[in-house]
């Protein structure tokens, strides 16, 4: 279960994600950090995708320009899960290094995205643009692997074609 509050600037201001089976409550407030059951969260210190744990929901490949299979081969291990919000929280607390969240609705990414960002994770869309409010899809990564991940996801710009002689 996840809930978030969006301020008048359309940016997430506060969030909570409850994992009832695990009995865990993730919380965050913009500019105040993130916590799991009151303990401050920090994203993992992982610095290589080859050592990263990747998690994704069943729709994750629907918004990524690159081949999701290429991501699986680039990382140490991966898992398919059932909750986008909890995937993003897993990156926030260091249980995972990367999460692709293709939401059924913006509510799936809103709260988890703020929690991950406040824990120091990179939170962008599928093209590498920062996400600060509710979004249809997000790419969340530990800060040490974010640029390597985005290099795989975001197509490199192509040089302009030279005019024919």
pLDDT of the residue at 65: 45
The DSSP string of 86-146 is: HHHHHHHTTS-SEEEEE-SSTHHHHHHHHHHHHTT-EEE-TTS-B--S--SEEEEE-TTTH
CA atoms within 13 A on the CB side of 84: 25
Domain range list for the chain: 2-153
The highest-level CATH class for domain 2-153 is alpha beta
pLDDT of the residue at 44: 97
Dihedral in degrees, nearest 10, Cα atoms 158, 145, 23, 21: 50
What's the pLDDT tens digit per position in 99-123? 987 766 677 788 999 999 999 999 9
The model's pTM is 0.85
With a cut of 70, list the residues of the chain below it in pLDDT: 58-76, 103-105, 134, 136, 155-165
């Amino acid at each position: 279960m996840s809930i978030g509050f969006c301020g008048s600037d359309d940016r997430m201001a506060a969030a909570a994600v409850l994992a009832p089976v695990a009995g865990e409550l993730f919380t965050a407030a913009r500019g105040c950090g993130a916590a799991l059951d009151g303990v401050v969260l920090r994203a993992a210190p992982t610095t290589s995708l080859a050592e990263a744990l990747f998690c994704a929901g069943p729709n994750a490949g629907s918004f990524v320009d690159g081949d999701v299979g290429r991501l699986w081969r680039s990382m140490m291990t991966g898992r398919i899960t059932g909750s986008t919000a909890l995937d993003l929280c897993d990156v926030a607390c260091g249980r995972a290094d990367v999460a692709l969240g293709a939401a059924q609705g913006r509510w799936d990414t809103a709260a988890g995205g703020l929690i991950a960002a406040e824990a120091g994770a990179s939170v962008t869309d599928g093209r590498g643009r920062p996400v600060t409010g509710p979004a249809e899809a997000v790419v969340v990564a530990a800060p040490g692997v974010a640029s390597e991940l985005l290099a795989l996801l975001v197509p490199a710009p192509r040089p302009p074609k030279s005019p024919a002689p």
